[in-house]
Structure 1
Amino acid sequence: MALALPRFAVFQSTVRQKNYLRYIHEDGEQHGFPQFSGEEIVSPYSKFEIERAKSTTAEGNDNGFVHIRCCYNNKYWVANSISSDSFIIAGADEPNEDQSQWSCTLFEPIPVDGEVGSSTTTTTKTTVHVRFRHVKLGHYLRSLVTRDNYHACVSTSYDRRYSR
């Protein structure tokens, strides 16, 4: 069964549950970066749209691919470089499904602990636990833990715990 994802989402930190992912709109080094520093769930900087991609699904995963768009600046999440430890920024004007380009905006949603949405449940689930994998780079997204200005920004840093 395919993973049921909402059209609009707010992402909550699994490390600091009081923090939400937000678009950094202030001028500075991190302008345009999503960062787990938001304190309000209802904020124009914390709202993201999940768009289903036209591309086919990954082998062994029937959840398909998605694009994630920042609702504040209407830009799509994209890696800022081809490096395996790229940051994700809200910087692409259009979705890009060309998996040969590092500017590909495709992400693969993968349920945590096998959790999938079900239309037969009697209660409505408002929380879905997923990890996103950048399709071109092949790495999972994670909140970067550093002691610099990029702390809690979204990165594709390789994490052995979640490798295939």
Structure 2
Amino acid sequence: MRQAGGRAMMKNEGGCLCGRIRYAALAAPGRVTFCHCRFCQKATGSAYMVEPIFGKEDLVVLSGAPKTFDRVSEGSGKLVHIHFCGDCGTKLWLSFERFPDVVGVYAGTFDDPCWFPIAPASSKHIFLEAARSDVVIPAGLPTFAEHATTADGVAQEVTVFDEHRKIGP
């Protein structure tokens, strides 16, 4: 923790595999998104991405200079910027044309990937229609078939399961 302006600030660090790029989150994430879309499956090489979302000003680069790969989101038609280490290839965080004030960090790149809470009031699973059939969704968390909002900002229907639910048969 650091003191800034008379208040305590948390500082949780992370970085790439080779250690050239280090970053710090200066606040707790505003929410945590579990994204099951094909983009996130391919970008992580896993069933879904665990993505704590921070205000852009709350993520600072401590060392190194990440490279950026831009991709147009199939859902919104807007650019998603993937920030990664040009030396070892580790994907570190995303920034978004659609949501310019936030960044989504690849949770596994934190030194302690469990430091932030996952609570129903501030977490959600999105793009369940693209989820692997063997994924289990915990009870009590908001879920969405696609994104939580349409490309033009309309809220989508939310589903909350009363018990743990396997996506497929």
TM-score by length of 2: 0.28
TM-score by length of 1: 0.29
Indicate the structure (1 or 2) with the bigger Cα radius of gyration.
2
More helix, by proportion: 2
